[in-house]
Amino acid sequence: MTSIHERLFADAAQAVLVFDPADGSIRYANGGAGRLLGYEPAELLEVTISSIYREQGPELETFLARVVEYGHGWTRDLVLRTSNGASLPSEVFALLIESGAQGMVLVLAGDRSQNRRPGREPPPTPAWKPFAAPPRTV
């Protein structure tokens, strides 16, 4: 049976991950995530989201807490770690999605290292401001 994630993101060039915010386990990874990080997509299902953002525990926790609280988030301040330990500055968009009885986090991540020019620092990430949350119905 093909999941909705596979139908939507299997052929996307950008890295797409779906993970459980309760334990950080990656539940889905597309081919773009595997290529970017140097893993087979099935191998990514055996690691946690924190392992691909090694050494950034507090920053990752703060970002993910905002995603869970507000339902979405975006940052250029996290650095991905590939399977061989290389660092990749990344741009990350995350969205809280419903998946059964619990929420999952959908992550779209891209490599920003190709956008850097020698001798030029990237602009700082703008101050984070949440969108107004839509009213929730019960």
Domain boundaries of the chain, sorted by first residue: 16-112
CA 27 to chain centre: 12
Looking at residue 57, its pLDDT comes to 81
pLDDT of residue 137: 58
Give mean pLDDT, residues 57-61.
87
pTM score: 0.75
The more confident residue out of 131 and 109 is 109
> Average pLDDT, whole number, for the chain?
81
Cα–Cα distance list, 126 to 58, 74, 85, 116 (Å) = 19, 10, 28, 17
**What's the confidence (pLDDT) of residue 67?**
92
CB 30 within 8 A of CB 8: no
Domain made up of 16-112: CATH architecture: 2-Layer Sandwich (3.30)
Is the model's pLDDT at 108 over the cut of 90?
yes
